[in-house]
C-alpha cells in the first residue's frame, strides 16, 4: 500500500474530489483526517472509510480561519502521532464579471481558496519538519492557467494557489517537504453542478473537451495520491493538469 503508516489531512473532504481522495488514501493505508465545514456529509465519509476497514477522523474546520487551523493540526497530531500529508482541497466557486463582482464576494473566495491554502500550509509545516518531511498537495485548477469570460475571483484565487505553491516548494524542499499543485479541468462534482445548474451550456461544452467528457473525482484523486506518495519523491514545485487535454 502506497501510504502505509502515513497520516494525511484532506480539507473539503465532505464531498467531491476531497471525499474521493480521502477514500483512496485510506484504502492505501493512510490514517485520514477529514476537514470540512459540512459536518453531516463529512461524518458520512468518515463512517464509510471506517466501515471499509480504514482509519478516519472528522475535524470541523473552516480553512479561512487561521486560529482554527492550529487547533486542527494539533488535534491530528494528538490523535495520529504525526502529519505527513496535507491536501489543500477545500474551495468555493463564483461566477461574475469584473464589474458584476462585489468586494465581499472577492474577499470570501480569496479567503477560502487562496488564504486557506496559505494558512493550512503554514500550520502544517512545523509538524512536517519535526517528522523529517512531508507532502503538500494544493488543488488549483486550469483556472490558474487561463482567464475566464465569466468568473473572476475564482480564477485569481487559483492563480494565487499556483504561485504560492512554487514559493513554498522552494522554501521547504531542504526540509524534505514537497509542495505541488493539481489542476483539474471540468470534473463532475457538486461544484460543477452549482456552476452549471442548467444542463444546456454544460453539455454543449463537452464538444470542446478533447476527451468529450468530464472527469471524475476519482480520476483527480489518483493524481493527488501520486503527488502525496513517495512515487513523486523527486517532484516538487510542479503543476499537474488533470483536464482531459482541455489546455493542450
Ligand atoms: N469540480 C471541478 O470541475 C474543479 C475543477 C478545478 C478545480 N477544482 C477544485 O477542486 C477542489 C474540490 O472541488 P470539488 O469539485 O470537489 O468541489 P465541491 O464543492 O464538491 O467540494 C468542496 C468542498 O469544500 C468544502 N469547503 C468549502 N468551503 C470550505 C471552508 N471554508 N472550509 C472547509 N471546507 C470548505 C465544501 O464544504 C465541500 O465539501 C476545489 O478547490 C476546486 O476549486 C474543481
Q: What is the pLDDT of residues 54-106, one digit of tens each?
A: 999 999 999 999 999 999 999 999 999 999 999 999 999 999 999 999 999 99
- The residue whose C-alpha atom lies closest to atom 19 belonging to ligand 1 is 191
Q: How far does the centroid of ligand 1 lie from the alpha carbon of residue 191, in Å? A: 7
DSSP per-residue codes, 167-223: HHHHHHGGGTEEEEEEEE-SB-SHHHHHH--SHHHHHHHGGGSTTSS-B-HHHHHHH
Helix (H) or strand (E) holding 55: strand 55-60
Domain of 199 in residue numbering reads as 7-242
Active site amino acids: 154
pTM of the model: 0.98
Count of other CB atoms within 10 angstroms of residue 235: 15
Residue 238's CATH number: 3.40.50.720
User: What is the phi-psi region of residue 237: left when phi exceeds 0, alpha when psi lies from -120 to 50, beta otherwise?
Assistant: left
Q: Is residue 248 in some structural domain?
A: no
**Rounded distance from Cα 174 to ligand 1 centre (Å):** 30
Give the C-alpha separation, 78 to 202, whole Å. Answer: 44
Q: Whose CA is nearest to atom 23 of ligand 1?
A: 12
- Note the pLDDT of residue 225: 99
* pLDDT given for residue 199 in this prediction: 64
Per the structure, how many domains does the chain have? 1
Instruction: Summarize the confidence of residues 157-166 as an average pLDDT.
Output: 98
Mean pLDDT score, 137-158: 97
Q: Whose CA is nearest to atom 25 of ligand 1?
A: 12
Cβ partners under 8 Å of residue 82, min gap 6: 7, 127, 130, 131
**pLDDT for residue 111:** 98
Q: What percent of the chain has pLDDT over 90?
A: 93
- Any idea which of 4-13, 140-149, 207-216, 220-229 has the lowest mean pLDDT? 207-216
Residue 68 forms part of a structural domain: yes
Whether the CB-CB separation of 21 and 182 falls below 8 Å is answered with: no
106-125: average pLDDT: 98
User: Probe ligand 1: pick from 10, 17, 146, max atoms within 8 Å of CB?
Assistant: 17
Is residue 1 situated within a structural domain?
Answer: no
pLDDT over 70 (residue 200): no
**45: phi > 0 → left, psi -120 to 50 → alpha, else beta; which?**
alpha
CA distance linking residue 45 with residue 22, whole number of Å: 8
Amino acid at each position: 500500500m502506497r501510504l502505509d503508516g502515513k497520516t494525511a489531512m484532506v480539507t473539503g473532504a465532505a464531498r467531491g474530489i476531497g471525499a474521493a481522495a480521502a477514500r483512496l488514501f485510506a484504502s492505501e493505508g493512510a490514517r485520514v483526517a477529514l476537514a470540512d465545514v459540512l459536518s453531516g456529509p463529512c461524518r458520512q465519509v468518515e463512517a464509510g472509510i471506517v466501515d471499509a476497514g480504514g482509519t478516519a477522523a472528522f475535524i470541523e474546520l473552516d480553512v479561512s480561519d487561521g486560529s482554527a487551523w492550529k487547533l486542527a493540526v494539533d488535534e491530528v497530531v494528538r490523535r495520529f502521532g504525526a502529519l505527513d500529508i496535507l491536501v489543500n482541497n477545500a474551495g468555493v466557486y463564483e461566477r461574475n464579471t469584473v464589474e458584476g463582482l462585489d468586494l465581499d464576494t472577492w474577499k470570501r473566495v480569496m479567503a477560502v481558496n487562496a488564504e486557506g491554502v496559505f494558512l493550512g500550509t503554514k500550520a502544517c509545516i512545523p509538524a512536517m519538519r519535526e517528522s523529517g518531511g512531508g507532502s503538500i498537495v494544493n488543488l488549483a485548477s486550469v483556472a490558474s492557467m487561463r482567464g475566464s469570460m465569466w468568473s473572476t475571483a475564482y480564477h485569481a484565487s487559483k492563480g494565487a494557489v499556483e504561485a504560492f505553491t512554487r514559493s513554498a516548494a522552494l522554501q521547504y524542499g531542504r526540509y524534505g517537504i514537497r509542495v505541488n499543485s493539481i489542476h483539474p479541468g471540468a470534473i463532475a462534482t457538486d461544484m460543477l453542478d452549482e456552476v452549471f445548474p442548467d444542463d444546456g451550456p454544460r453539455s454543449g461544452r463537452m464538444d470542446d473537451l478533447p476527451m468529450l467528457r468530464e472527469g471524475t473525482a476519482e480520476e483527480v484523486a489518483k493524481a493527488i495520491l501520486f503527488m502525496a506518495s513517495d512515487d513523486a519523491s523527486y517532484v516538487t514545485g510542479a503543476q499537474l493538469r488533470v483536464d482531459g487535454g482541455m489546455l493542450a
